[in-house]
Amino acid sequence: MLRALRLPCPWGHLGARGCASDGTAGGCEIQVRALAGSDQGITEIVMNRPGARNALGYVFVSELQDALARLREDQHLRVLLFRSAVKGVFCAGADLKEREQMSAAEVGVFVQRLRGLMNDIAAFPAPTIAAMDGFALGGGLELALACDLRVAASTAVMGLIETTRGLLPGAGGTQRLPRCLGVALAKELIFTGRRLTGVQAHTLGLVNHAVDQNEEGDAAYHRARALAQEILPQAPIAVRLGKVAIDRGMEVDIASGMAIEGMCYAQNIPTRDRLEGMAAFREKRPPKFVGK
């Protein structure tokens, strides 16, 4: 039975949040790393399932859902970065070998769970960044699409290739890709199952940045981390509310969106950070935001 596949994954010594850096503690496929020093406030979700190229299997999805549930409550987290510990791969998409062992009913339930996972990523309160240093296919690209920002190596390969496997995107791809690129282009990419390089994806607007890959194979990660460092000094409550205003506003007409913006703005008015921002401007010094 599929339930037997789920393994307990204790949170290891990395900031009391994640598995050991070699991924061996508890057999974890998802590791959580809270960075320190000048990077404090950045937390990384590291995908580490090398034997299956980070495919979205039962254990992988369970551990990722558990990690997100824990991190949602972390008020010190300012940016969440998704990266891979498997060189040349971000996430290869569905675990088709595991999927073959499921009944039709189990497939439907599991894909619904995948859809819920992507919704959880999209609704994560802090900004999220996908560092795509390799293949991001099918569900792997859907995971990246659920993030707020995407950075890709020039050599990365990505696409919603489900139609080449007799499937269609089922974890948000048919909804998030057209919202990202427009309806006609999204239809073309999904109908053809076309694969794009990081450079092509940047040209189309699918990723925010494309960078030349380095010998270590982690150029996108370093650019994503630099982007996270740009977000870190900003007022965290204002950033989170800005995310809410954009995400919810994009789903409604502009008049309703303006009302949502107004409600978010009102929530920010009584914060200490707003007063700190004005004081810092008046005193000609950098602000020190505390998230209150």
DSSP code per residue over 210-269: EE---TTS-HHHHHHHHHHHHHTTS-HHHHHHHHHHHHHHTTS-HHHHHHHHHHHHHHHT
Q: What is the pLDDT of residues 217-244, one digit of tens each?
A: 999 999 999 999 999 999 999 999 999 9
DSSP 4: G
Catalytic residue positions? 94, 139, 142, 162
Q: Is a pLDDT exceeding 80 seen at residue 21? A: no
Residue range 231-284, pLDDT digits in tens: 999 999 999 999 999 999 999 999 999 999 999 999 999 999 999 999 999 999
| Mean pLDDT, the chain, whole residue set | 90
How many other C-beta atoms lie within 10 A of the C-beta of residue 232? 17
pLDDT at 23 over 60: no
177-217 pLDDT, tens per residue?
999 999 999 999 999 999 999 999 999 999 999 999 999 99
Q: What is the pTM of this model?
A: 0.89
